[in-house]
A = this chain, B = another copy of it.
Amino acid sequence: MRNHEEQRSYHHGDLRNALIRAGLELLAEGGAAALDLRKVARKAGVSHAAPYRHFADKQALIAAINEEGYYRLVERMRAARAQEPNDDIFAQLLAIALAYIHFAIENPWLMREMFSGLTVERESYPDLYEASKQVFKQYVEVITRGQQQGSIIQGEVGGLAGVLWSLLHGVAMLIIENQMSPYVEGPEKIEHMALLSVQTLYRGMGGR
Protein backbone atom coordinates (compact mmCIF):
# COMPACT_ATOMS: atom_id res chain seq x y z
CA MET A 1 0.00 0.00 0.00
CA ARG A 2 3.00 2.31 -0.11
CA ASN A 3 3.02 2.58 -3.86
CA HIS A 4 1.28 5.91 -4.15
CA GLU A 5 2.81 7.94 -1.39
CA GLU A 6 1.26 11.30 -2.15
CA GLN A 7 1.42 12.31 1.47
CA ARG A 8 4.80 11.62 2.92
CA SER A 9 5.37 12.38 6.56
CA TYR A 10 8.12 14.72 5.41
CA HIS A 11 6.45 17.01 2.97
CA HIS A 12 9.08 16.72 0.27
CA GLY A 13 11.05 14.11 -1.45
CA ASP A 14 13.28 16.93 -2.54
CA LEU A 15 12.90 19.88 -0.23
CA ARG A 16 16.20 21.30 -1.38
CA ASN A 17 14.97 21.84 -4.93
CA ALA A 18 11.57 22.97 -3.73
CA LEU A 19 13.28 25.69 -1.70
CA ILE A 20 15.35 26.81 -4.66
CA ARG A 21 12.28 27.01 -6.84
CA ALA A 22 10.33 28.89 -4.18
CA GLY A 23 13.23 31.31 -3.83
CA LEU A 24 13.39 31.91 -7.56
CA GLU A 25 9.68 32.68 -7.64
CA LEU A 26 9.78 35.05 -4.69
CA LEU A 27 12.77 36.80 -6.21
CA ALA A 28 11.00 37.22 -9.53
CA GLU A 29 7.82 38.47 -7.91
CA GLY A 30 9.06 40.76 -5.20
CA GLY A 31 12.76 41.34 -5.59
CA ALA A 32 15.56 40.80 -3.14
CA ALA A 33 13.44 42.07 -0.25
CA ALA A 34 10.96 39.27 -0.84
CA LEU A 35 13.66 36.64 -0.75
CA ASP A 36 13.37 35.97 2.93
CA LEU A 37 14.08 32.58 4.36
CA ARG A 38 10.91 32.29 6.41
CA LYS A 39 8.78 33.17 3.40
CA VAL A 40 10.65 30.66 1.25
CA ALA A 41 10.00 27.97 3.82
CA ARG A 42 6.33 28.93 4.07
CA LYS A 43 6.01 28.78 0.29
CA ALA A 44 7.59 25.34 0.25
CA GLY A 45 5.22 24.24 2.99
CA VAL A 46 7.67 23.61 5.80
CA SER A 47 8.60 25.31 9.03
CA HIS A 48 11.03 28.20 9.02
CA ALA A 49 13.75 26.04 10.53
CA ALA A 50 13.52 23.27 7.93
CA PRO A 51 15.71 24.97 5.31
CA TYR A 52 18.66 24.67 7.68
CA ARG A 53 18.61 20.92 7.04
CA HIS A 54 19.61 21.66 3.44
CA PHE A 55 21.41 24.97 3.55
CA ALA A 56 23.93 26.20 6.07
CA ASP A 57 22.42 29.67 5.97
CA LYS A 58 20.62 32.13 3.76
CA GLN A 59 23.78 32.78 1.75
CA ALA A 60 23.95 29.11 0.81
CA LEU A 61 20.39 29.17 -0.51
CA ILE A 62 21.17 32.29 -2.50
CA ALA A 63 24.27 30.60 -3.88
CA ALA A 64 22.12 27.68 -5.06
CA ILE A 65 19.62 30.08 -6.63
CA ASN A 66 22.44 31.92 -8.39
CA GLU A 67 23.81 28.63 -9.65
CA GLU A 68 20.48 27.81 -11.23
CA GLY A 69 20.51 31.30 -12.73
CA TYR A 70 23.85 30.67 -14.40
CA TYR A 71 22.61 27.37 -15.84
CA ARG A 72 19.65 29.14 -17.37
CA LEU A 73 21.68 32.05 -18.72
CA VAL A 74 24.32 29.81 -20.29
CA GLU A 75 21.68 27.58 -21.80
CA ARG A 76 20.03 30.61 -23.33
CA MET A 77 23.31 31.86 -24.76
CA ARG A 78 24.10 28.43 -26.16
CA ALA A 79 20.69 28.10 -27.77
CA ALA A 80 20.94 31.55 -29.32
CA ARG A 81 24.33 30.79 -30.84
CA ALA A 82 23.11 27.47 -32.18
CA GLN A 83 20.51 29.32 -34.25
CA GLU A 84 23.19 31.16 -36.23
CA PRO A 85 25.73 29.89 -38.77
CA ASN A 86 28.81 28.75 -36.90
CA ASP A 87 31.22 30.83 -38.93
CA ASP A 88 29.21 34.03 -39.13
CA ILE A 89 30.92 35.71 -36.21
CA PHE A 90 28.90 38.87 -36.40
CA ALA A 91 25.67 36.89 -36.22
CA GLN A 92 27.07 34.84 -33.35
CA LEU A 93 28.00 37.98 -31.47
CA LEU A 94 24.62 39.59 -32.02
CA ALA A 95 22.80 36.42 -30.98
CA ILE A 96 24.79 36.11 -27.80
CA ALA A 97 24.29 39.81 -27.06
CA LEU A 98 20.54 39.63 -27.45
CA ALA A 99 20.37 36.46 -25.37
CA TYR A 100 22.36 38.05 -22.56
CA ILE A 101 20.43 41.32 -22.57
CA HIS A 102 17.01 39.72 -22.86
CA PHE A 103 17.77 37.28 -20.08
CA ALA A 104 18.68 40.23 -17.87
CA ILE A 105 15.52 42.12 -18.75
CA GLU A 106 13.33 39.11 -18.10
CA ASN A 107 15.09 38.19 -14.86
CA PRO A 108 16.38 41.46 -13.45
CA TRP A 109 16.45 40.42 -9.81
CA LEU A 110 18.00 37.07 -10.50
CA MET A 111 20.61 38.70 -12.72
CA ARG A 112 21.40 41.14 -9.95
CA GLU A 113 21.83 38.35 -7.41
CA MET A 114 23.95 36.28 -9.77
CA PHE A 115 26.43 39.07 -10.18
CA SER A 116 26.68 40.05 -6.57
CA GLY A 117 30.10 38.57 -6.00
CA LEU A 118 30.66 41.11 -3.26
CA THR A 119 27.95 39.52 -1.15
CA VAL A 120 28.35 35.87 -2.00
CA GLU A 121 31.88 34.50 -1.85
CA ARG A 122 31.83 32.42 -4.98
CA GLU A 123 34.96 30.59 -3.95
CA SER A 124 33.07 29.07 -1.03
CA TYR A 125 30.55 27.47 -3.35
CA PRO A 126 32.40 25.32 -5.90
CA ASP A 127 29.31 24.38 -7.89
CA LEU A 128 28.32 28.00 -8.21
CA TYR A 129 31.83 28.90 -9.25
CA GLU A 130 31.86 26.22 -11.94
CA ALA A 131 28.48 27.29 -13.28
CA SER A 132 29.51 30.93 -13.42
CA LYS A 133 32.64 30.16 -15.40
CA GLN A 134 30.54 28.74 -18.21
CA VAL A 135 29.41 32.26 -19.09
CA PHE A 136 32.94 33.40 -19.75
CA LYS A 137 33.53 30.22 -21.72
CA GLN A 138 30.76 31.14 -24.15
CA TYR A 139 32.50 34.40 -24.93
CA VAL A 140 35.86 32.69 -25.27
CA GLU A 141 34.44 30.22 -27.77
CA VAL A 142 33.10 32.92 -30.08
CA ILE A 143 36.28 34.96 -29.93
CA THR A 144 38.44 31.90 -30.56
CA ARG A 145 36.37 30.89 -33.57
CA GLY A 146 36.59 34.44 -34.90
CA GLN A 147 40.34 34.44 -34.55
CA GLN A 148 40.64 31.06 -36.27
CA GLN A 149 38.80 32.26 -39.34
CA GLY A 150 40.49 35.63 -39.30
CA SER A 151 37.56 37.93 -38.63
CA ILE A 152 38.87 38.89 -35.20
CA ILE A 153 42.34 40.20 -34.50
CA GLN A 154 44.94 38.05 -32.82
CA GLY A 155 45.81 38.59 -29.19
CA GLU A 156 45.06 36.89 -25.89
CA VAL A 157 41.56 35.47 -26.06
CA GLY A 158 40.86 36.19 -22.41
CA GLY A 159 41.29 39.91 -22.77
CA LEU A 160 39.08 40.17 -25.82
CA ALA A 161 36.46 37.92 -24.27
CA GLY A 162 36.61 40.14 -21.20
CA VAL A 163 35.96 43.24 -23.29
CA LEU A 164 33.08 41.53 -25.08
CA TRP A 165 31.52 40.33 -21.85
CA SER A 166 32.01 43.71 -20.22
CA LEU A 167 30.20 45.56 -22.94
CA LEU A 168 27.22 43.22 -22.92
CA HIS A 169 27.18 43.10 -19.15
CA GLY A 170 27.27 46.87 -18.97
CA VAL A 171 24.42 47.29 -21.41
CA ALA A 172 22.34 44.68 -19.59
CA MET A 173 22.97 46.07 -16.13
CA LEU A 174 22.51 49.72 -17.02
CA ILE A 175 19.22 48.81 -18.63
CA ILE A 176 17.81 46.80 -15.75
CA GLU A 177 19.10 49.24 -13.16
CA ASN A 178 17.22 51.89 -15.06
CA GLN A 179 20.18 54.12 -15.79
CA MET A 180 19.81 54.66 -19.52
CA SER A 181 16.05 54.98 -19.65
CA PRO A 182 15.51 57.36 -22.58
CA TYR A 183 17.79 55.36 -24.86
CA VAL A 184 16.42 51.94 -24.15
CA GLU A 185 12.66 52.37 -23.91
CA GLY A 186 10.82 49.71 -25.78
CA PRO A 187 12.05 46.53 -27.45
CA GLU A 188 13.18 48.23 -30.68
CA LYS A 189 15.44 50.68 -28.92
CA ILE A 190 16.90 47.87 -26.88
CA GLU A 191 17.58 45.83 -30.00
CA HIS A 192 19.14 48.87 -31.56
CA MET A 193 21.39 49.34 -28.55
CA ALA A 194 22.47 45.71 -28.78
CA LEU A 195 23.16 46.08 -32.47
CA LEU A 196 25.15 49.25 -32.00
CA SER A 197 27.18 47.58 -29.27
CA VAL A 198 28.00 44.56 -31.38
CA GLN A 199 28.82 46.68 -34.43
CA THR A 200 31.21 48.83 -32.43
CA LEU A 201 32.81 45.81 -30.86
CA TYR A 202 33.09 43.82 -34.08
CA ARG A 203 34.70 46.71 -35.88
CA GLY A 204 36.95 47.44 -32.89
CA MET A 205 38.16 43.87 -32.83
CA GLY A 206 39.13 43.97 -36.45
CA GLY A 207 35.97 42.52 -37.94
CA ARG A 208 34.81 43.21 -41.55
Binding site for B on A (CB under 8 A): 31-33, 108-109, 112, 115-119, 122, 132, 136, 158-160, 162-163, 165-171, 173-174, 176-180, 182-184, 192-193, 196-197, 199-206
- Contact assessment for A159 and B204 in the assembled complex, using a CB-CB cutoff below 8 Å: no
Q: A112: which B residues are within 8 A, CB to CB?
A: 116, 118
Number of identical monomers bound together in the oligomeric complex: 2
Cα A202 to Cα B163 in complex, Å, equals 13
Query: Given the complex of chains A and B, what is the CA–CA distance between A116 and B203 in angstroms?
Result: 31
**Secondary structure of the A side of the interface?**
helix
Please state if A118 and B177 are interface contacts (CB–CB under 8 Å).
Answer: yes
Q: Can you list 20 contacts pairing A with B, beta carbon distance less than 8 Å?
A: A33-B119, A109-B118, A112-B118, A115-B179, A116-B177, A117-B179, A118-B177, A118-B178, A136-B179, A158-B182, A159-B183, A159-B196, A160-B200, A163-B193, A166-B174, A167-B167, A168-B170, A169-B170, A200-B205, A202-B204
The answer to whether B197 touches A200 (Cβ under 8 A) is: no
Minimum C-beta distance from A142 to chain B (A):
15
What's the least CB distance linking A186 to chain B, in Å?
14
Chain B residue nearest to A176 in the complex (CB): B118
B169 touches A173 (CB 8 A): yes
Q: A108-B118, A119-B32, A173-B115 are in contact. Are A180 and B165 (CB under 8 A)?
A: yes
Contact check, A169 vs B163: say whether CB atoms are below 8 A apart: no
Q: CB distance B178 to A122 under 8 Å?
A: yes
